[in-house]
Chains A and B, each alone.
Chain A
Amino acid sequence: KAGVTQTPRYLIKTRGQQVTLSCSPISGHRSVSWYQQTPGQGLQFLFEYFSETQRNKGNFPGRFSGRQFSNSRSEMNVSTLELGDSALYLCASSLAFLSNSPLHFGNGTRLTVT
């Protein structure tokens, strides 16, 4: 079974631009959650999607958004990029709700904002 796939692996953007990251979950998994990891703040929860609906959102500004498609693939978008958005963005998939199932992580997208 293929694992969680995140694309692209690396991305360099300029302040003010926007970016879209993609996450393909394990086949059959319906929950996709997103996380930001920085040296200063560690790992932080961004949001979780289940059956195309956002179930939960972390404490991030509205510039961070996401969506999930009918095939469970998910995208997250960051608009008006700031230097502080430079981070490793990870997604994880699980069979059911975040609270009920083990997580399977992708390898992440490393975003650098210059």
Chain B
Amino acid sequence: KNEVEQSPQNLTAQEGEFITINCSYSVGISALHWLQQHPGGGIVSLFMLSSGKKKHGRLIATINIQEKHSSLHITASHPRDSAVYICAVLASGSRLTFGEGTQLTVNP
């Protein structure tokens, strides 16, 4: 079993829909990152969080340390949100461990 599990692996939505991507992990962590990767490879860091909730524009990230679970929400989704979303956890030893990613496609 991977230390970081993401669901779903693939997600197709219509423009305007509310989207949720989930991340579960099995180790103690000091921080969790949500990353966005567009075709071509460039990665953008969306959030780094260790507790609670963060919001940036239409994106919201939450984390529940006790349940070892985080969610990334996208409100009013848009085709430009189409990308791979990756969850990464910073466990002991300061090594980042990545989930397999969620491929999101938002259709107009």
Contact = CB atoms under 8 A, between A and B. Distances in A.
Interface of A: 33, 35, 37, 42-45, 48, 55-56, 58, 88, 90, 92, 97-99, 101-105, 107-108, 110
Contacts of A105: 35, 42-45
B contacts with A: majority SS: strand
A68 to B, nearest CB: 16
Interface of B: 30-31, 33, 35, 40-45, 48, 86, 88, 90, 93-101
A contacts with B: majority SS: strand
B44 A42 contact: no
A81 B41 CA distance: 22
B98 A55 contact: no
Nearest to B46: A102
Nearest to A107: B42
Contact of B93 (A44, A56, A101): A56
Contacts of A98: 90, 94, 96
A7 to B, nearest CB: 14
A90 B33 contact: no
A45 B95 contact: yes
A58 B95 contact: yes
